[in-house]
């Protein structure tokens, strides 16, 4: 699972209602792997408004990935920024581990890079 996907997912357990705790989910025992991918600047720039930057910053810090603290004024012209963003959200994969909700504690497992976001009976 890439970090772009992680940035879009929140805990959706029925009675878990505190937005600050539902998102971002916290990685636990994350096994990271970097896989090189072709960079597409147009995609990166179009996705920027859809990315929750504080959440991405928090998650990358926890995983030891470095990205700029702030989105520059003209991201489309900032090659260094785009490369850092590309590496963080599209080249870093969490292969194994889990994502834990800071609110209800639900643990979403990641196996072979595929997160299992299904809920249990008492959570729907």
Site residues for other proteins per CB under 8 A = 1-2, 4-5, 8-12, 22-23, 35, 37-38, 40, 42-43, 46-47, 50, 52, 90, 107, 112-124
CB of 52 to other proteins, least distance (A): 7
3-class state of residue 98 by DSSP: strand
| Closer of 29 and 43 to other proteins (Cβ) | 43
| Closer of 67 and 101 to other proteins (Cβ) | 101
CB atoms < 10 A from the CB of 21, how many? 17
CB of 121 to other proteins, least distance (A): 4
Cα three-residue angle 74-46-77, rounded to 5 degrees: 25
CB of 95 to other proteins, least distance (A): 12
Rounded-to-integer distance, Cα 7 and Cα 101, Å: 13
| Closer of 70 and 112 to other proteins (Cβ) | 112
Rounded-to-integer distance, Cα 66 and Cα 43, Å: 20
Which residues face 33 on adjacent strands? 93
CB of 92 to other proteins, least distance (A): 12
Rounded-to-integer distance, Cα 10 and Cα 80, Å: 29
| Closer of 75 and 113 to other proteins (Cβ) | 113
């Amino acid at each position: 699972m890439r970090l772009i996907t992680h940035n879009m997912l929140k805990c959706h357990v029925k009675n878990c209602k505190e937005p600050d705790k539902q998102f971002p989910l916290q990685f636990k025992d994350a096994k990271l792997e970097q896989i090189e991918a072709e960079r597409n600047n147009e995609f990166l720039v179009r996705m920027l408004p859809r990315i929750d930057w504080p959440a991405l910053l928090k998650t990358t810090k926890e995983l030891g990935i470095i990205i700029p603290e702030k989105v520059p004024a003209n991201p489309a012209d900032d090659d260094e920024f785009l490369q850092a963003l590309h590496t963080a959200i599209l080249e870093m994969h969490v292969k194994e581990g889990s994502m834990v909700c800071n609110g209800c504690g639900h643990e979403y497992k990641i196996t072979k890079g595929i997160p299992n976001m299904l809920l249990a009976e008492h959570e729907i």
